[in-house]
Chain A
Amino acid sequence: MNFNLSQNGYFGQYGGRFVPEILIPAVDELNRVFQEIRHDQDFYRQYYSLLMDFSGRPTPLTYAAGLTEYFGGGRIYIKREDLNHSGAHKINNVLGQGLVMKRLGKTRVIAETGAGQHGVATAIMAAKMGYKATIYMGAEDAERQYANVFWMKQLGAEVVPVTTGTATLKDAINEALRDWAGNFDNTHYVLGTACGPRPFPEMVTFFQSVISKEMKRQIHDLHGKNPDRIYACLGGGSNAMGAFAEFLEDDGVELIAVEAGGKGQASGKHASRIAYGTASVGICQGYKTLFLQDEDGQMLDTWSISAGLDYVGVSPILAHLAETKRVRVLAATDDQVIDAFKLVVSKEGLIPALESTHAFAGLFREVQNTASDDIIVVNMSGRGDKDIFNIGEALRDEGWKSFVQERGRRYAE
């Protein structure tokens, strides 16, 4: 990837490190360590062997025969980040930052989580590496993703539901920043996406770019060339940057990020910052990017069927790549996502996370514009088992409903 992308933590006009003075030494120390490790081959070998041993990398690139045949357009491949330990790409970043923590000599880790995937990955890392963990999770998210809360607790992490603000990912990030401001001497903050103050956007991208490193090799082994298009869902931007990083300088590869269109642009209930063009440049959560905000600069409430994409800001790197037209950004609505989900499950025997399903929905909308010799990769960032409560509800599945009711009755006794 082009590591000269950043000018002092800026990507075009986006980025920076707008944190209170008390946190400046902590973020600058982290940046120093990141600058040390980013070109350190030994560090990278240690990192990759941890991913192989513990998380099952490399993840396969699965040919989607069913979907390819169904649409009759380009050949569709699926990068299987769902097969990571913990079931999502989030662990790639977390294990990397776990090693960074060792260098920093910190013994406690904190994290924010939206869907809970990053929280679970962090709790796993802490259990494995012997750190104490505290996970901040919006109360609304904790409710819709209780299964992940359950696992974090089993793994020994403390889970703190955040009730302030909109009680979602944004507010969990604020709480984590506040905790960090009080405890940075022994605590590392593992930010879970390519957002926040320098060096997080680049550091998270650095660790997640393992996805596109493998993808490039895999697709070259199969076809001897780059893919024509890569689709990834876009919340904060970590899986998208991971899937795109190695191809940024390969102009022939079209990079498409798919945001959460929620209930559609007109409803105002969505989390699309770029595709709907309703976000504006702002400074919040320690960095400058496109935020969904009102004219006073107050952040707006966002909506998505998937907790992991329900976020008010976006990676400064992606804001820049969209502005410079290197990345094209779409939004898929909740309804389109549910339809896409049914198709992927039935045609491929795969169960994508609702977040990842946005990437499929984005492709399906425009698959008719592909030629049969086009090669398309969809980054399936995670698996959907965790979403069973939401999916069961969204599909209005009667069997699932009576199961939940019956369980409820039994617990009530």
Chain B
Amino acid sequence: MKAGSHLFRKGGEDMQSEQLQIEKYIEDLKKSKNILLMTHQIIGYPDFATNELAIECFYRHGVDLIELQIPFSDPVADGPLFVKSNQAVLEKGVKVTQCLEFVARMVKKYPVSFLIMTYYNILYQYGVQRFIDKCQQIGVQGTIVPDAPLDEAREYFDYSRQQGLAAVSIATPYSFEQRLQEIASVGSGFIYYVPRKGVTGSKTNFADEVLAGIKSAKNITGATIAVGFGIQGAEDVAKLIGTADIAIIGSKIQRVIESEGLSGLELFMEAIAGVNGEE
């Protein structure tokens, strides 16, 4: 299915839509992998060259999805580590158009599924529809916007789906049944499940009740579930096998690069890839 074909049926309550490209991609990969991997970079941090080497490293280690974050001055869903790196990029004067150019180049270079993560004001100033059109044009598969709630940002969710792009919605252990159903039906691509309170950056303890919460979200929605926030390494990823479909590794990667450099990232990613029996 080509992005841009008419997926959107107006009028009907249930927006029965055809499978998005990214949904098909995930479905196929699920057949051959224990768990899919999504890794994260803040665009421009510490610099574009390091971003690119990290992405190359992700690619070589079989990462399935890459989440690239466009920095924002007021990232409320992020903890201290990412707050500082968002700010550091902006202090260098990096603009949204440069970020988009970088993403476009990465999409061309690596046959991995790319998503853009950012805050709603970035889309809003660019023009929500124009931003999504741009994503589609450069081959981005979807977006993740943590401060765009379902009921406030319908234009964003509906237009994304209409254009064949995922607008990934977010669920938490505090999203109860009815809300989960809305999260599943308004969002698309997959559900980003945040397994605890708080912001990015601190460790999550993947205890039994946390895993039970993820399972329950999966049962209720029947959707693909990606779990992010606080994954520290291969051990956490392994714990998620059989529960989550996708493991998202964010701030830990920045920590590894900052403390051990790209060679440290190499070892870290090797261990992660081992979870799927790959090198």
Contact = CB atoms under 8 A, between A and B. Distances in A.
By secondary structure, the A interface counts as mixed
Contacts of A285: 74, 76
Give the interface residue-count category, chain A: 35 or more
A24 B149 contact: yes
B77 interface: yes
Contacts of A185: 197
Given A21-B194, A25-B174, A283-B147, A296 B122 contact: yes
B159 to A, nearest CB: 16
A181 B199 contact: yes
B87 A182 contact: no
Interface string A278-310: 001111111000010101111100000000000
A283 B125 CA distance: 9
Contacts, number: 106
Given A164-B87, A165-B87, A299-B73, A17 B120 contact: no
Given A20-B170, A296-B96, A184 B197 contact: yes
A25 B174 CA distance: 7
Contacts of B171: 21
A286 B73 contact: no
B198 A22 contact: yes
Contacts of B241: none
B96 to A, nearest CB: 5
A170 B74 contact: yes
A295 B125 contact: yes
A283 B120 contact: yes
B26 to A, nearest CB: 21
A174 B146 CA distance: 14
A19 interface: yes
A181 B73 contact: no
A178 B147 contact: no
Given A164-B83, A296-B95, A21 B73 contact: no
A283 B121 contact: yes
Nearest to B94: A296
B124 A283 contact: yes
B234 to A, nearest CB: 26
B170 A293 contact: no
Interface string B120-154: 11101110000000000000000000111100110
Given A17-B152, A178-B199, A181-B199, A297 B147 contact: no
A332 B104 CA distance: 46
B30 interface: no
Contact of A20 (B90, B122, B146, B153): B146
Contact of A297 (B79, B125, B153): B125
A16 interface: yes
B175 interface: yes
Q: Which 5 A-B pairs have the closest CB atoms?
A: A297-B125, A182-B198, A297-B121, A21-B170, A298-B73
12 contacts: A16-B152, A18-B120, A21-B146, A22-B198, A164-B80, A165-B83, A178-B79, A282-B125, A283-B147, A284-B119, A297-B72, A297-B96
